[in-house]
A and B are shown apart, each in its own frame.
Chain A
Amino acid sequence: MRDLLKECLSEENGLVELRYHHKENRSFFAEKGRIESSALRKRSGVGVRVLHNGTWGFASTGEVSKASIQNAIRIAKQAATVSSSLRGEKISNLPPALFAKGDFIGKGIEDFRNRSVEEKLNLVLDVQNKALKSSASLQSVGCGYSEIYEEKAIVTTDGADSFFSMVRPEFRVNAVASDKGKLESGSHSIGVTGGWDCLFRDKKPEDISEEACKTAIDLLTSSLPDGGLTTVILSPSIVGLLVHEAIGHTVEADFVLAGSVAQGKIGTRVGSDLVSLADSGVSEYSEGAGGTIPVDDEGVIPQKTMIIQDGILKSYLHNRETAHKFNVAPTGSARAWEYSDVPLIRMRNTYLLPGNSSLEEMIAGTKNGYFLDGAKNGQADATGEFMFAVQKAYKIENGKITKLLKGATVSGLAFDVLQNVDMVSKEFKWDLGSGHCGKGQPAKVDAGGPYVRTKVQLGGN
């Protein structure tokens, strides 16, 4: 594929970026004792981006042939030509970046190929069948397995020349429990970059199912926590939501330039000195982080980017264009979900670095507060005000966990929350590897970290 793309570029002047993308998404879902869906989604094509007359033009083609790709180049140039007069700040030629060259074959692909459809169907069917029998309170248990296999080749006129492949499996269980007309939900999911040995390394499918079912059942007898500003201990999945939603989005350079709260704050204190936060294309600390990429979608080798070091804001996340504007090196954060999508600045694997405390001493040292666990969803604003939802809130009284309460919404201002971090645990876990981040188009990301103690605004009674 690289050779075909290079052939298409052989007569081109100026910056032309060709990105071949083939994606296969297989998904299997079982509920109520039967397979509810068995689906395969396949999509292939080439996205073409040109820097022409000081602005970007983009076109794509679902036909992977020299003639079609070159026609797309022509269309992209025409698009740039038509719109060039509108662009106030023209883009000059971008400086070279640390481009990826060669083939990068992901881990787990052989394992993924060797597992039959029947094996995957049996997995989801068996797990949900066993789960449904475990308690009369369970109204329904759904179990899903999905995997995304991708191939990409990225070749540019100024030096990128790479091919890579990867596979990302996910497994999830959703349970609904009922009692006297009351319904409650519980869910648990995992997602990695790699094979099944990585996917089920820490927990077996049955363990994931048990956790989701137990949550749904336990919530039947729970009530809302008291609302207001409170001390909380965040589990790694919630820390993942925090660093992703509250911090990560605000430091995406395109958002910074639009006026996010992180604008102009490089070099200033934004958190306590216990807070160090990074985003990386590599899976740090343990294998399999769901946002791992060997090459970004501009053909740049992804960097480990220290966003916050000891509480000081150090860097934004950049693509080639914003890096040039800020006079820094690209961080390898350009990502595109489909061949027909324009690359955007996105997170990869975002995490808080571990500290020196233990979870036990963090709980023992908390007189009054909550332990929050079970990430649901989250959003963030330009102001740095974030929201994320948790499944479970455990009350902490006099250094002990006393009871389970319903999960609620957690909110606050990003940097205020980081300033209030006073304990960070030694443990580390990637725990946001399933699902997607959304910013006009999806992106596979992961997030995580240690346990963290801080103060947040908790929604409740």
Chain B
Amino acid sequence: MDKAFIEKKLEEQKNHLESLVKKAKDNGISQVEIFSSYGYAEEVTLEKNDLNNCTATEENMFGIRVIENGSQGFLTTNHFPTLWESIQEARDLARSQTTPDSDLVLPDPQTLEKRANQYDESLDALGLEHLVEIAKTTLGWKKELFPKVNLDSGDMSLSKGFKLIVSSKGVNASELGAGISASVMGMAVDGSDVGSFDYDSASGNDYPYFAKKWERAFREFGEKCMGGLGAKAIPGFKGYILLPPEAVYSFFLGSFIGSLNGTSIRKGKSKMAGQLGKQVASSKLSIWEDPTISGYAGTTSFDREGQATHKQSILNQGVLDTYFYNTYEAKKAGLKASNGFATGGAQSLPGCGPRQLQIAPGDSNKDDFFKMKDKVLFVNRLSGTSDGPSGDFSGVIKGSHLLENGVKTPVKEVQVVGNVYEALNQIVSISKEGELLGESYWAPYMLLEGFTITGAS
């Protein structure tokens, strides 16, 4: 399967969806939107330090949205031959509702900026046999470099496809994409000492770039797993925590970013309601959305509703610049149109959120954080929970270390408790260095102060 095949399939499908939309309009369905996600994937999976499975799958999902008199019905299906019947069924869902809202409309089309090609044709030369070779190399690294690390699971995959949206309002947009990725999860075992599990991944849309990233990711994974051996319980204390890029993005900023969702703002469930233009975080923190970067996984010219995406500031030196809106939430907020932050795909209604956040680097050297004289808890990963509205979080740190006077001690059975919104103002320092995560979002290291750390001894 190559780019030419996918382009042909896309063209055929576009024509078919356009004819369906026309048929719907001719039959009195004036607002209908069809979002198509097509994907072909080949994958080699590892388990227990050995090959587990080899798979090839292909699927096309269609998300059909019908809006009638301010009510909405949504249907997802993978059954191409009955798309017309599915449109009718979505209309029936809309008609069954009794709480219409005139703000519920499909968006008008917008002019879209062209983005860099997300389908590198060199990937067409790759197939299952190449994924097998990557898996073989990975197992070789494990055996040679990290014999005490057990690979619980891993996968190497090649995926390609397209996304397409057609609506009765004239929205019509599509993009092809292809990528190669790998991930691994496991833990170090040394006799009866079982370390905390860890994981890492790499992806790219051309092979040479991916290969280099994957080797680095695997080595880091192995080091993290080995670093979890010999973990000790420690007494609790109140003080600093150091977050690596992954923890910064996935945990620390997760609730804050979620609180900028237009839906949460509208419903009064967000701490950030009414905070536009205000200082909500340390002046050291700046965040922006950038869907334009060539080669990044989240780069796209249009969002889930076919609206234009563009670079936008979210937080500028701690001052809040924007919320995330889809069409409906923008109208509820009194805006003419969304700001291109509709999220999702064929299997969900448009949500609100970013797709490719970039966190500005700071001016500190990462290595200096590890040499501090004070006690610092390095939080490799947090297994915990966070409550969006209140901002309260707590969790057990995983694969982490106590840093003191340059000495690094692996720890276990340690919990951290705090509040995300308060933590935004507990940032002491941000590193110059950082990591590109998920081939999409860049995050630095962050040092924060004033945290309650509960130990087991």
Contacts and interface: CB of A to CB of B under 8 A. Distances in A.
A259 interface: yes
Interface stretch (B91-99, B158-166, B335-343): B91-99
B76 A227 contact: no
A86 B398 contact: no
A41 B452 contact: no
A112 B60 CA distance: 28
B394 interface: yes
B449 interface: no
Interface in A218-243: 219, 224, 227-229
A33 interface: yes
B78 A382 contact: no
Most buried by B among A42, A75, A224: A42
A442 interface: no
A261 B194 contact: yes
B: contact size bracket: 35 or more
Interface string B364-402: 000000000000000000011101111010111010000
A38 B74 contact: yes
Contact of B189 (A56, A259, A412): A259
A388 to B, nearest CB: 8
A259 B150 CA distance: 7
A449 B102 CA distance: 48
Interface stretch (A177-185, A280-288, A425-433): A177-185
Contacts of B111: none
Contacts of B195: 382-383
Contacts of B129: 82
A413 interface: yes
Contact of B389 (A184, A224, A406, A413): A184
A35 B71 contact: yes
A255 B48 CA distance: 8
A409 B152 contact: no
Nearest to A380: B383
B14 interface: no
B293 interface: no
A229 B412 contact: no
Contacts of A261: 194
B96 A387 contact: no
Contacts of A419: none
Given A227-B417, A261-B194, A121 B74 contact: no
Nearest to B92: A117
Nearest to A389: B385
A261 B64 CA distance: 47
B45 A79 contact: no
Interface in A39-67: 39-45, 55-62
Contacts of B413: 385, 411-413, 457
Contacts of A383: 187, 194-196, 412
Contact of A88 (B51, B96, B187): B51
A182 B94 CA distance: 36
A178 B78 contact: no
Nearest to B64: A40
A86 B194 contact: no
Contacts of B194: 259-261, 382-384
A384 B197 CA distance: 10
Contact of A258 (B78, B128, B151, B398): B151
A259 to B, nearest CB: 4
B311 interface: no
Given A227-B452, A258-B186, A178 B268 contact: yes
Nearest to B128: A82
A379 interface: yes
Interface string B119-140: 0000000001100100110010
A62 B58 CA distance: 8
Contacts of A59: 55-57
A232 B4 CA distance: 63
A340 B40 CA distance: 12
A385 B396 contact: yes
B279 interface: no
Interface string B71-87: 11111111110000010
B454 A55 contact: no
Given A37-B74, A183-B389, A56 B53 contact: yes
B56 A75 contact: yes
Contact of A33 (B47, B51, B58, B99): B99
Interface string B210-251: 000000000000000000000000001000000000000000
Contacts of B145: none
Most buried by B among A45, A377, A385: A385
Contact of B269 (A33, A176, A460): A176
A39 B132 contact: no
B97 A38 contact: yes
A139 B56 CA distance: 48
Contacts of A227: 236, 415, 417, 452, 454
A407 to B, nearest CB: 9
B59 A62 contact: yes
A381 B383 contact: yes
Contacts of A384: 194
A55 B413 CA distance: 39
Given A387-B383, A460-B417, A409 B394 contact: yes
A257 B42 CA distance: 26
Contacts of A13: none
A459 B96 contact: no
A170 interface: no
A32 interface: yes
A377 B44 contact: no
B56 A35 contact: no
A409 B52 CA distance: 35
Contacts of B152: 254-255, 258-259, 382
B316 to A, nearest CB: 24
A358 interface: no
Contact of B196 (A182, A183, A385): A385
A79 B56 CA distance: 7
Contact of B55 (A57, A61, A458): A57
Nearest to B77: A42
A409 B371 CA distance: 30
A268 interface: no
A408 interface: yes
A89 interface: yes
A264 to B, nearest CB: 9
Contacts of B267: 31-32, 139-140, 176
Contacts of B7: none
A367 interface: no
B95 to A, nearest CB: 10
Interface string A153-193: 00000000000000000000000101000111100000000
Interface in A287-324: none
A458 B452 CA distance: 13
A93 B266 CA distance: 59
B57 A461 contact: no
Interface string A357-393: 0000000000000000000110101111101010000
B152 to A, nearest CB: 4
B396 A83 contact: no
A258 B150 contact: yes
Contacts of A224: 417
Contacts of B383: 379, 381, 387
Contacts of B417: 224, 227, 408-409, 459-461
Contacts of B271: 183
A18 interface: no
Given A39-B75, A83-B128, A259-B150, A34 B57 contact: no
27 contacts: A32-B267, A38-B73, A38-B94, A43-B76, A55-B51, A56-B52, A58-B55, A58-B56, A59-B56, A62-B60, A85-B132, A87-B50, A88-B49, A121-B98, A176-B267, A178-B268, A182-B390, A183-B271, A183-B389, A258-B48, A376-B385, A384-B194, A387-B383, A389-B395, A459-B395, A460-B454, A461-B452
Cβ-closest 6 pairs across A and B: A389-B385, A34-B99, A227-B454, A258-B152, A183-B389, A459-B415
